[in-house]
Chain A
Amino acid sequence: MKFVLLISSAPQSPATRRALRFAEALLESGHRLERVFFYQEAVHIASKLLVYPQDEPNIAQQWQAFIQQHQLDAVVCIAAALRRGVVDEGEAQRYQLQASNLAQGYALSGLGQLHEAVQQADRLVHFRGQA
């Protein structure tokens, strides 16, 4: 079955960890994960500047490793990301910012990528956490 995940929970939210475990289980069960779309507070998961205490699991790093290992299509909503300070090199140049922080494996793009994925998915699963 073709799955699309929409994640809108903050990195610290339990929903972010559950989403990753769910995604792992999907692939283990032989399903396809067509796209993971990061929206709202979830754009922070794609920041490479998150630092966790050593005795706490680094869920953002786990997400990135999972995405890279399986070559997943991981899209971060560009509008949601820019207003929260998550930028790639291109946007950093465009807005003359001093740095970029989008982790490797993610791509900034528009909400059209969410709609396109929803149109093609057998199942859309949303992890939202607490607003």
Chain B
Amino acid sequence: MSVSVLLISRSSPWSGLAAREALDIALSGGAFDLPMSMLWLDEGVWQLVGEQQPQQLEQKNLPAQLSALPMFGIEKLYVAQHSLEQRGLTEADLMLEVSVVDAGQIAQLIEQHQQVLSL
């Protein structure tokens, strides 16, 4: 039985490599068929917002890469409700199908997974 991993992505998409390197952990875990879930928290929620123009920053399209997650078998995707609210975002602003979770549910997620990584 594989160990379940919750990956918490907390970095904004364009402030450096952190968001991209968190995603790389998720995608590589998916490639090995490992049970991985992903939670976007804090500034990380900006990664999910649609209609970004990364070409203006001469960056790869991170949101497009995020949409590859289900293809890699990573379908348990969550976003923190309070992080969205703090930034004036709603579910309608997001380009990926994710479950909105409150603080209690986040605590449950951390409890349910055997390992937790926060990047």
Contact = CB atoms under 8 A, between A and B. Distances in A.
Contacts of B34: 115, 119
B83 interface: no
B3 A118 contact: yes
B107 interface: no
A53 B11 CA distance: 32
A131 B28 contact: no
A128 B119 CA distance: 8
A110 B118 contact: no
B118 A128 contact: yes
A112 B11 CA distance: 22
A8 B25 CA distance: 13
B117 interface: yes
B30 to A, nearest CB: 10
A118 B115 contact: yes
23 contacts: A8-B119, A39-B21, A40-B17, A40-B18, A40-B21, A79-B24, A80-B21, A83-B17, A111-B24, A111-B25, A112-B28, A112-B32, A114-B25, A115-B25, A115-B28, A115-B34, A118-B5, A118-B115, A126-B117, A126-B118, A128-B118, A131-B11, A131-B15
Interface of A: 6, 8, 39-40, 79-80, 83, 110-112, 114-115, 118-119, 121, 124, 126, 128, 131
Given A112-B28, A114-B28, 11 more contacts: A110-B28, A111-B24, A111-B25, A115-B25, A115-B28, A115-B32, A115-B34, A118-B115, A119-B2, A119-B3, A124-B115
